[in-house]
Structure 1
């Protein structure tokens, strides 16, 4: 595991700076204690990172669950009651893993997964623009179109234009320039620039800028534009930040409903993220999905037991890890330890980091996920790839992650049905006569199901009278009952239309079969 420490350590620092504001922001957007987001980030890094089979995936509190958490805390009667649902949700995820439910992740089309990555990239950019200019009314980690501050993604940007903070904006621009310069130029000059990441330098510069401009009426960065980690006065107050589940409510039906909701949504987001990160992985490693569910379930049980938010694998942290050169799971684990150590030892120093500098880091992450070249590439692959991709992107931007993916998947299924309709058979007119009749030949596809009924019915009804039809099913491996019944009805009508049928089959050739149903024995058969 320590073989790639020189790559994993710098990457873990970048992931730490990405995760820190998101942990706090998601907790705020969820209506939960701020410390609960940090707990989830720490458990997601250390525990889930150690148990997971993913080399580059990073787990923590998920923005996609924020709305569910916010509603559940209110309906369940408090945060301690909600923690019971988190613990139970973790156990349900363990059951999913044992039941091999991880295979579900493989049934999402590549176009939808790429659309998810691109959509998240665009959302990151749009959501970070206000923070970049020092407008922090909406908490970090709120990725939904309709925000908790009453605005939406685009109206928030318009609000930011009228509320620009000079100090925050200047240090954000400087930080962004450093990150780009570091990546494009300096890392190619010397190895020291590979070990010390540009985002770390930008954050240090941000702290220095805050200290230098403190007290300046124009340039100072006020507290609401800085990271806000809870600062305990002593060990007792630190331990007092932990919450514990109230198991007295475990028998209530609404607790179990919330637990199943958390388990299903968290598992689905995790499996989608696993599929996406595997595609981003330069080494193309494959994550064992059932093991991932077991790791996530364990993480959620532990997180819920000590007051943390629900955990999933998260594409923002994972992509930041990959972009920063992370090679193994050690990067995720170290970032978890960074979170733990920093909130214990240096919370006041963390609270000097301008949110606008962290926004600059996230802007770079978002751009790398949503490069314009990807749109051109997907367009070049044809409409069957481009349409589900585009619908997924637009859906994520204007709704949320799961709704956008659902819309993309729905369009992908429609595309499959259309192509299945078109590719069920091949019909052509043979330029010759047979027994005084025009000869036509229909070749059925390898698999013909009820999806193909419409196309085959249309072709059969369009065959003119006095035709000699060769029906070739030698390549067909599966014929649905619905198709067999259509052929049987056509055999009956063919007599009145003076159509002769010659069935060519691996089971024997038949001239004018009386009954296709009898020939295929009333059920789907290998032709």
Structure 2
């Protein structure tokens, strides 16, 4: 696991700086204690990272569950009752893993997964614009279009124009320049710049800037524009940050419904993220999805037992890990230990990090996910790839992750149906003499009820006095609905003086008495 520590250690530092504000922001957006987000981040890094089969995926609290958590805390009568649902959700995820439900991940089209990555990249950039300029009214981790404060993504950007903080903006611009210079120039000059990551330098400069300008009315950075980690006064107060589930609420049916909802949504988000990160992985490794579900189940059980938010594998941290050169799961585990150590040892120092600097880091992550060249590539791949891709991107930006994925998947299914309709058969007019038409119709390898409309349309358009050769030698599955269409058409054919010859593996037959009987007598390997 530590073979690539020179790659994984710098990557874990970047993931740590990305994860820290997100853990706190998602907790705030969820209406949960701030420390609960950190607990979920620590467990997602250390426990899930160790148990998972993913080499580059990073787990932690997920923005996609924030709305569910916010509603459930109120519905269930408190955070401790909600924690019971988190534990139950983890148990249900374990069951999903043992039932091999992870196979669901392989049924999402590539165009939808690419659209998901691009949509998330665009959202990261849009959501970080206000933070970049020092407007932090909306918490980090609120990724939905309609936000918890009643605003939406674009209105929040417009509002930020009236609340620009000069100091936060200045250090954000400096940090962004450092990151671009580091990535485009310095890392190519010397190996030392590969070991010391640009984001770490940007954060250090941000802390120094805040310390030097403290008290300056114009160029200083006020407290609300900094990271806000809970600071314990003593060991006892640190233990007081933890919450424990109230298992007396387990008899409440609402707790079980919430637990199942958490398990279902968290599993789906995890599987989508696994599919996406595997595509981003330069090594093109494949994550065992059932093992991932079991790892997430254990993580959620432990997180619920000690007061943490639900955990999933998350694309923002995973993509930051990949882009920073992470090679193995060591980077995810080390980032978890960084989170743990920092909240115990240096919470005061963490609270000097400007959020605008972290926004600059996330700008780079978002841009790498949503490169303009990808739109051109998908467009050149044809409309069957581009339309589901574009719908997924727009859906994610203007709604949320799961709705956007659902819209893209729905459009992808419609595209498949359209192509299935178009490719059900091949029709060829071979001869046209003395007013007679000799027509050959070759059916596809698989013909289902989706193809009923196309085949029925062709049959009804055949002219009178025609001779139809129906070639089914390549057909390996013929739906009973299609056979019934042929049965019904045989009566119409007699009235229109149309003769039909079927060419099959068994031989040829003209105007069979019963199509249903004929096709049922075909060899079992065929339809």
Q: Distance in 1 between matches of 2:148 and 2:373?
A: 33
Q: CA RMSD in A?
A: 1.2
Consecutive unaligned residues of structure 2, counting only runs of 5 or more, are none
Q: Distance in 2 between matches of 1:51 and 1:77?
A: 33
Q: Distance in 2 between matches of 1:214 and 1:72?
A: 40
User: Does residue 516 of structure 1 match 2:515?
Assistant: yes
CA drift at 1:130: 0.2
Change (3 A) 1:522 1:141: farther
Residue pair 1:478, 1:524 contacting (<8 A) in 2 also = no
Q: For residue 137 of structure 2, what is the aligned residue in structure 1?
A: 137
Q: Distance in 2 between matches of 1:522 and 1:260?
A: 47
Q: Distance in 2 between matches of 1:495 and 1:220?
A: 91
Q: TM-score, normalised by structure 1?
A: 0.99
Provide the secondary structure at the position in 2 that maps to 1:204. Answer: helix
Provide the secondary structure at the position in 2 that maps to 1:2. Answer: coil
Q: Distance in 1 between matches of 2:13 and 2:247?
A: 37
User: Does residue 224 of structure 1 match 2:243?
Assistant: no
Provide the secondary structure at the position in 1 that maps to 2:134. Answer: coil
The C-alpha deviation readout for 1:409-436, integer Å capped at 9, x for no partner, is: 1111111111111110010101355x98
Q: Distance in 2 between matches of 1:233 and 1:510?
A: 91
1:26-425 equivalences in 2 (<5 Å): 26-425=26-425
Provide the secondary structure at the position in 1 that maps to 2:137. Answer: coil
Aligned residues, how many? Answer: 526
The C-alpha deviation readout for 1:12-67, integer Å capped at 9, x for no partner, is: 00000000000000000000000000000000000000000000000000000000
Q: Distance in 1 between matches of 2:256 and 2:506?
A: 55
Q: Distance in 2 between matches of 1:131 and 1:354?
A: 9
CA drift at 1:520: 1.4
The C-alpha deviation readout for 1:366-386, integer Å capped at 9, x for no partner, is: 000000000001101111111
CA drift at 1:437: 3.1
Moved over 3 A (4+): 522-525
The C-alpha deviation readout for 1:111-133, integer Å capped at 9, x for no partner, is: 11010000000000000000000
Q: For residue 472 of structure 2, what is the aligned residue in structure 1?
A: 473
Q: Distance in 2 between matches of 1:356 and 1:37?
A: 20
Q: Distance in 2 between matches of 1:290 and 1:251?
A: 29
CA drift at 1:236: 0.3
Provide the secondary structure at the position in 2 that maps to 1:123. Answer: helix
CA drift at 1:498: 0.9
Provide the secondary structure at the position in 2 that maps to 1:509. Answer: strand
Q: Distance in 2 between matches of 1:89 and 1:300?
A: 7
Q: For residue 448 of structure 1, what is the aligned residue in structure 2?
A: 447
Q: Distance in 2 between matches of 1:190 and 1:108?
A: 41
Q: TM-score, normalised by structure 2?
A: 0.99
Q: Distance in 1 between matches of 2:280 and 2:523?
A: 41
CA drift at 1:185: 0.3
Residue pair 2:506, 2:522 contacting (<8 A) in 1 also = no
Provide the secondary structure at the position in 1 that maps to 2:3. Answer: helix
CA drift at 1:515: 1.3
CA drift at 1:521: 2.2
Provide the secondary structure at the position in 1 that maps to 2:426. Answer: strand
The C-alpha deviation readout for 1:116-172, integer Å capped at 9, x for no partner, is: 000000000000000000000000000001111111000000000111000000000
Q: Distance in 2 between matches of 1:184 and 1:480?
A: 58
Q: Distance in 1 between matches of 2:20 and 2:320?
A: 13
Q: Which moved more, 1:486-495 or 1:397-406?
A: 486-495
CA drift at 1:513: 1.3
The C-alpha deviation readout for 1:258-290, integer Å capped at 9, x for no partner, is: 000000000000000000000000111000000
Provide the secondary structure at the position in 1 that maps to 2:507. Answer: coil
Q: Distance in 1 between matches of 2:21 and 2:267?
A: 23
Provide the secondary structure at the position in 1 that maps to 2:307. Answer: coil
CA drift at 1:96: 0.1
Q: For residue 457 of structure 1, what is the aligned residue in structure 2?
A: 456
Q: Distance in 2 between matches of 1:128 and 1:502?
A: 67
Provide the secondary structure at the position in 1 that maps to 2:54. Answer: coil
